[in-house]
């Protein structure tokens, strides 16, 4: 079995491009080097263990000159929205400015589950970015007394910005929602009677709902039974509020990981089963490409948004664009620059 990292080392460190012999999947045959290589993604990430490299024989489209699907991806982490600007709170004006800067720089919003699945729907030349929102605070999604959407809530800003910049900025974002609703301003967007309406709106608009546990418990200090309870009931509660929807991802509160990631993948509590396909960490910087063997779907790093962190990381990738994931627009092809990622 030949790992992707070994193949990339052979490809970029030497002068040979390899393709697997169809008669014997483990036999390698040297072929003439080409500027780009492709793989055929499979439904699961198993294909990352052994990949079939084949040369691109046709002349690549122009955008292949800058496509790099082994580059890093930024996942932004937001919490509250209001005044003043401070840690865990972004002003509506600054959030609008964030979106405008991302759009101008060629970023393209995707849901967190899209990253886990291998970013299949990013147009050519676009750079995926994931907007995530933790804690289901009312400032993220607020309806006014007349039933209208608060334009200064996160969802209000997103809806307006998407409408102004369609189709280059689809309505995509992931909300990691707490699973209880006890009239607590943090629970399911703080308006208990509207919880179902809000969650249904997010899903129907193309955005994603993920789990943030039931009670915001630190899974790093919880018992096995408590972990199973938090993850099973969170998924069950959220899915009971949204028609025909499956919660597929989560974010551990406080960045507190249980002693084994197996807890996050699947489990059961008193007959309630759960399965998650990815988990977002609370910090850590940009994420690896989902095609990189360094990518760990249950420990995906994020960037907590502050004025300093947002400007710092965008500046880094503005000055080093070759390091960022840039799509070739073809979900059946993995494009890597000849010079390496």
Share of the chain above pLDDT 70, in %: 78
pLDDT in tens, 327-338: 999 888 888 876
What average pLDDT does this structure show over 26-34? 29
Per-residue exposure over 108-146, b if at least 16 CB sit within 10 Å of its own CB, e if not: bbbbbbbbbbbbebbebbbbbbbbbbbbbbbbbbbbeee
- Map residue 226 onto helix, strand or coil: helix
* Res. 64 pLDDT band, cuts 50 70 90: low
Using one digit for the tens of pLDDT, what is the confidence trace for 39-49? Answer: 444 334 443 33
What are the extents of the domains in the chain? 4-59, 74-323
Question: In this structure, how many other beta carbons lie within 10 angstroms of the beta carbon of residue 91?
Answer: 16
Provide the token pair at 327: 């799509």
Higher-pLDDT residue of 193, 33: 193
Q: Which of 44-58, 172-186, 226-240 has the lowest mean pLDDT?
A: 44-58
Distance of CA 43 to the CA centre of its chain: 17
pLDDT (tens digit per residue) in 214-252 = 999 999 999 999 999 999 999 999 999 999 999 999 999
What residues form DSSP beta bridges with 143?
149
pLDDT at 63: 52
Q: Class assignment of domain 74-323? A: alpha beta
Looking at residue 332, its pLDDT comes to: 86
Structure-model confidence comparison of residues 305 and 183, the more confident one: 305
């Amino acid at each position: 079995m030949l790992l992707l990292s070994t193949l990339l080392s052979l490809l970029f460190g030497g002068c040979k491009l390899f393709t697997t012999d169809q008669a014997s999947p483990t036999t390698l045959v040297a072929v003439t080097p080409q500027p780009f290589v492709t793989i055929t993604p499979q439904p699961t990430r198993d294909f990352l263990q052994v990949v079939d490299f084949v040369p691109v024989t046709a002349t690549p489209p122009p955008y292949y000159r800058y496509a790099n699907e082994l580059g890093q991806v930024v996942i932004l982490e937001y919490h509250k929205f209001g005044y003043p600007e401070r840690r865990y709170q972004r002003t509506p004006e600054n959030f609008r400015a964030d979106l405008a800067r991302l759009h101008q720089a060629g970023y393209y919003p995707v849901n967190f589950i899209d990253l886990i699945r291998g970013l299949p729907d990013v147009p050519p030349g676009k750079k995926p970015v994931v907007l995530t929102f933790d804690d289901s605070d009312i400032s993220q999604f607020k309806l006014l007394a007349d039933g209208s959407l608060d334009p200064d809530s996160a969802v209000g800003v997103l809806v307006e910005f998407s409408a102004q910049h369609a189709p280059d900025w689809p309505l995509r974002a992931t909300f990691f929602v707490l699973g209880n609703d006890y009239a607590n301003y943090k629970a399911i967007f703080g308006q208990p009677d509207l919880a179902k309406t809000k969650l249904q709106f997010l899903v129907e608009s193309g955005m994603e709902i993920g789990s943030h546990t039931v009670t915001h418990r630190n899974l790093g200090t919880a018992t096995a039974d408590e972990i199973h309870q938090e993850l099973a009931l969170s998924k069950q509660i959220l899915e009971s509020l949204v028609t025909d929807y499956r919660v597929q991802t989560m974010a551990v509160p406080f960045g507190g990981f249980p002693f084994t990631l197996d807890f996050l993948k699947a489990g059961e509590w008193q007959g309630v089963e759960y399965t998650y396909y990815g988990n977002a960490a609370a910090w850590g910087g940009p994420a690896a490409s989902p095609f990189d063997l360094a990518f760990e779907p249950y420990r995906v790093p994020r960037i907590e948004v502050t004025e300093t962190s947002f400007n710092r990381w965008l500046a880094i990738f503005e000055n080093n664009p070759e390091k960022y994931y840039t799509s070739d627009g073809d979900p059946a092809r993995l494009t890597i620059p000849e010079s390496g990622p």
